[in-house]
Structure 1
Amino acid sequence: MSSHPIAHIHLDPSKPISPLRDAHPQHRAHEHKHLPHPTALKVHPGGKSTGTENARLYFVGTATTILEWEGVRIMTDPNFLHAGDHVHLGPGVTGTRLTNPSIDLHDLPRIDLVLLSHYHADHFDQHVEASLNRALPILTTPHAHTALTTKSPEEDNFTAVTALDTWQSALLHITPPSQSSSAPVGNPDAENRGPPLIKVTAMPGHHVPPLLAKVNELAGAVPPTNGWMVELGRGREEEVKEVGYRMYITGDTLYVDELKSIPERYPDVDLMVVHLGGTTIPSPSLPLLMVTMDAKQGIQLVHLINPDVTLPVHYDDYDVFLSPLTDFQEAMASAGLGEKVAYLDRGDAYAFSVRG
């Protein structure tokens, strides 16, 4: 699907590595803990649950989620600020958090990898940046890679950051696979499919309208962003041989022409995690520029990607959002897609089945 070289990252969920840098002994008790029990565990909204769900996506808040499958935990866009905290979003632009995350940063269990869509404080806040384990693997944009690996003093640098530009991929090798879903001994078909494997591919995205891209690049106001295609399945060293579930995470993109190439490459998407909110700068009271999808663009993307299920995030946690979740709910209902969307409150989780 791509001629770009593939990065290889080996994840061993059996290793008791703290997600935090220089974790205080009182926090080390959390290293082996599970995530909190979800307030509500949602399944397919169309009544397609089989009772065999073997993976889940836990919603922390804003764009922060934690994917659990085969013993591995992947965290997206970590933001753990609390109501009243502020973030810097560009020259002269700040945002105030209105909600609390469902779990505190220092209560995180083991995390194996971070997917960082872009280097923006509402996706990678100042406390996260100061506190995360420097050896924690991170997949992100080339821009964020530079920011995370060229710090002063040098010991503040993150040491396991992989940059992925559009259509570039990384293979996450899980060692060892969980006993509950590993290939049975003597089953040639299962053995041929290979061990559990996750492929992450960077998707196109534009955080500002394309007409302003050059101006923004010169000004350095809004950082470049990635979306992600996350494929869970089984395979060998170079490829996921059998994709058991495909999840598209949009990142903070607007609806732009480049997104039209996604369904051409990936015609079957099981779950789309869509960043909404209609983020406006400098503020909703002075909405000069929209930099994330509102409900109108969100429903356009639903029609374009045609996922089996859509899960909205990033819509009410900060005071820079102009388009509330209710706008998207009404648009989905009007389009007759009420049974193809799942809504999570902070602390809820969505359970699904990875085939194979």
Structure 2
Amino acid sequence: MSDDKKVIKYHLTLDPSHSKSATRDHPQPAASLPEPKHTNVHPKGSSNDENASIYFIGTATTILEWEGIRILTDPNFLHAGDHVHLGPGVTAKRVTNPAIDLHELPRIDAVLLSHYHADHFDQEVEASLRRDLPIISTPHAKSCLVDAKGDDKFTDVYDLDFFQNMLLDIKTSSAGSESKVPAIKVTGMPGKHVPDGVLGLANDLLKAVPPTNGWMIELGYKPSSSSSDEDFKSGYRIYISGDTLFVKDLEEIPKRYAGQNIDLMLIHLGGTTIPSPSVPLLMVTMDATQGIKLMQLIQPDVTIPIHYDDYDAFLSPLDDFKKAVSSAGWDDKVVYLDRADMYKFAVKQ
């Protein structure tokens, strides 16, 4: 585990009034996201006070929208037939299209990148994103986006290791009232693409598969803009598993958040195998069985599966997870999103 004595490693203020495109070649962003095909709420019913949303674009790419800001996760906008590089001699072909194209994005305020892998940060995204767009990722990804890019480097990249965190203040037109000021706390969570043991040690040496993070995203408020970060109070917690297997390191998460509700889990599934499902030598993301074990461990109020069918590298179809959820009696704890669907929820003050 990483040393997390430094509670806040970075501090960033997001200002949604600065209407910048996410990309370099399309200076005018879309005014908003497209209308969702279907809007979902809590499986037990609407609270009628939903003020935040998750829009599913495809694979692990989503847009979190709250208090006027938008955070884009794991941007991948390739189309059916396009290929990505996943490791030495290993490629995968996309079999779906994203809900929207990269140039159709509305203003994006920050990117949350679980790891530097082409199915999460594809070659067109890497070439097209504006260089001053804030990106929060792993130390390895930062080295790839900054140190290895030379004059074309990204200039606003923040790296968080496991259980290190940072606060994103949100500048709003109502902040002057000093009643409550919105903020987002982002914490790196454990994740391992390669299982523990000999394979993990070999990958540490060969660096064939990149290190990965999960995330805990806490949406909440500070009493005023001058309040210390320690006064931040969470009103909604979202755990994003990232591309991980069910490994022992994950057991630390419920210990760290004991007594604190985890409202939503976005779980990366699919049972990604390399070099391919026809030659499944190594599984590098959770399958349905591991997904159920993670639900049992984390105990989120609601789970949304993502990252399950967009590439031909997946061995475990979503139907396997649906059957496992039903067998566990958890149908009222899971929401299924198709591309271009939205989930709306309420952040408490």
- Please indicate the TM-score interval, normalised by the length of the shorter structure: over 0.9
Q: Report matched runs for 1:207-222 at 5 Å.
A: 207-211=193-197, 212-222=199-209
Instruction: Tell me how far 1:151 sits from its aligned partner.
Output: 3.1
Which residue does 1:291 correspond to in 2? 284
SS at match of 1:99: coil
Q: Report matched runs for 1:34-183 at 5 Å.
A: 34-47=32-45, 49-152=46-149, 154-176=150-172, 179=174
For the Cα contact (< 8 Å) 1:310–1:342, is it kept in 2? yes
Q: Aligned partners of 1:239, 1:328: CA distance in 2, in Å?
A: 39
Q: Is 2:191 aligned against 1:205?
A: yes
Candidates 306, 324, 333, aligned match of 1:331: 324
Instruction: Tell me how far 1:18 sits from its aligned partner.
Output: 1.4
For the Cα contact (< 8 Å) 2:30–2:104, is it kept in 1? no
Q: Aligned partners of 2:316, 2:243: CA distance in 1, in Å?
A: 14
Q: Aligned partners of 1:270, 1:96: CA distance in 2, in Å?
A: 33
Instruction: Tell me how far 1:239 sits from its aligned partner.
Output: 3.1
For the Cα contact (< 8 Å) 1:11–1:172, is it kept in 2? yes
Gaps in structure 2 of 5+ consecutive residues = none
Residue-by-residue CA offset, 1:100-143 (whole Å, 9 max, x unaligned): 00000011111000000000000000000000010000000000
For the Cα contact (< 8 Å) 1:79–1:124, is it kept in 2? yes
Q: Is 2:308 aligned against 1:315?
A: yes
Q: Aligned partners of 1:336, 1:80: CA distance in 2, in Å?
A: 35
For the Cα contact (< 8 Å) 1:199–1:240, is it kept in 2? no
Q: Aligned partners of 2:262, 2:272: CA distance in 1, in Å?
A: 25
SS at match of 1:210: coil
Q: Which amino acid aligns with 1:343?
A: Y
Q: Aligned partners of 1:171, 1:269: CA distance in 2, in Å?
A: 18
Q: Aligned partners of 1:226, 1:269: CA distance in 2, in Å?
A: 18
RMSD: 1.5
Q: Is 2:244 aligned against 1:253?
A: yes
Instruction: Tell me how far 1:227 sits from its aligned partner.
Output: 0.2
Which residue does 2:6 correspond to in 1? 4
Instruction: Tell me how far 1:155 sits from its aligned partner.
Output: 2.5
Q: Aligned partners of 2:195, 2:132: CA distance in 1, in Å?
A: 35
Residue-by-residue CA offset, 1:261-300 (whole Å, 9 max, x unaligned): 1011123100000000000000000000000000000000
Q: Report matched runs for 1:18-29 at 5 Å.
A: 18-21=21-24, 23=25, 27-29=26-28
Point out 4+ residue stretches in structure 1 off by more than 6 angstroms: none
Residue-by-residue CA offset, 1:59-108 (whole Å, 9 max, x unaligned): 00000000000000000000000000000000010000000000000111
Q: Aligned partners of 2:60, 2:228: CA distance in 1, in Å?
A: 31
Q: Aligned partners of 2:284, 2:66: CA distance in 1, in Å?
A: 32
Q: Aligned partners of 1:73, 1:239: CA distance in 2, in Å?
A: 24
Q: Is 2:249 aligned against 1:262?
A: no
Q: Which amino acid aligns with 1:215?
A: A
Q: Is 2:22 aligned against 1:15?
A: no
Identity %: 61
Gaps in structure 1 of 5+ consecutive residues = none
For the Cα contact (< 8 Å) 1:233–1:240, is it kept in 2? no
Q: Which amino acid aligns with 1:40?
A: H
Q: Is 2:186 aligned against 1:224?
A: no
Q: Aligned partners of 1:352, 1:115: CA distance in 2, in Å?
A: 20
Q: TM-score, normalized by length of structure 1?
A: 0.93
Paired residue total: 339
Which residue does 2:272 correspond to in 1? 279
Instruction: Tell me how far 1:2 sits from its aligned partner.
Output: 4.7
Q: Which amino acid aligns with 1:54?
A: N
Q: Aligned partners of 1:322, 1:240: CA distance in 2, in Å?
A: 45
For the Cα contact (< 8 Å) 2:30–2:105, is it kept in 1? no
Q: Aligned partners of 1:266, 1:80: CA distance in 2, in Å?
A: 34
Q: TM-score, normalized by length of structure 2?
A: 0.94
Which residue does 1:303 correspond to in 2? 296
Instruction: Tell me how far 1:32 sits from its aligned partner.
Output: 5.0
Instruction: Tell me how far 1:320 sits from its aligned partner.
Output: 0.3
Q: Aligned partners of 1:345, 1:263: CA distance in 2, in Å?
A: 29
Instruction: Tell me how far 1:5 sits from its aligned partner.
Output: 4.2
Instruction: Tell me how far 1:240 sits from its aligned partner.
Output: 5.4
SS at match of 2:344: strand
SS at match of 1:289: strand
For the Cα contact (< 8 Å) 2:165–2:188, is it kept in 1? yes
Q: Which amino acid aligns with 1:228?
A: W
Q: Which amino acid aligns with 1:220?
A: K
